[in-house]
C-alpha cells in the first residue's frame, strides 16, 4: 500500500478532528462536573438534571468522530 501526501494530510486532519472533540468534551465536562457536584450536595433530587447536563458535551466527541470519518472517506483511506 502506497501512502500519498494527500492521504497522510487527511489522516492528520482526522486525528485533529477527534482530538479537538475530545479536548472540548473534557474541558466542558470538568466545569459541568464540579458545578453539578456542588448542586447535588445541596439538592440531591437534582441528580437527573445534573447527569443530563454532564452527558450533553459528549456530542462534541461524536461530531468530531463523524467529521473524521467523512474526511477519511473523502480521501479514500477507509
* 3/32: higher pLDDT: 32
Taking the C-alpha atoms of residue 13 and residue 70, their distance in angstroms, rounded to an integer, is 11
* Fold classification of 5-75 (topology level): F1FO ATP Synthase (1.20.20)
Q: How far apart are alpha carbons 34 and 59 in whole angstroms?
A: 19
Quickly state the pLDDT bin for 8 (edges 50, 70, 90). very high
Average pLDDT of the segment spanning 16-45 = 94
Is 90 exceeded by the pLDDT of residue 72?
Answer: yes
Is the pTM value of this prediction over 0.85?
no
What whole-number percentage of the chain has pLDDT above 70? 99
Collect all residues with Cβ–Cβ distance below 8 Å to 46 and sequence separation of at least 6: 39, 40
Amino acid at each position: 500500500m502506497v501512502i500519498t501526501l494527500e492521504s497522510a494530510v487527511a489522516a492528520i486532519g482526522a486525528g485533529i478532528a477527534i482530538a479537538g472533540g475530545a479536548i472540548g468534551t473534557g474541558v466542558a465536562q470538568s466545569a459541568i462536573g464540579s458545578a453539578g457536584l456542588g448542586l447535588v450536595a445541596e439538592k440531591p433530587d437534582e441528580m437527573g438534571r445534573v447527569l443530563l447536563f454532564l452527558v450533553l458535551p459528549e456530542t462534541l466527541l461524536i461530531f468530531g468522530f463523524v467529521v473524521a470519518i467523512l474526511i477519511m472517506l473523502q480521501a479514500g483511506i477507509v
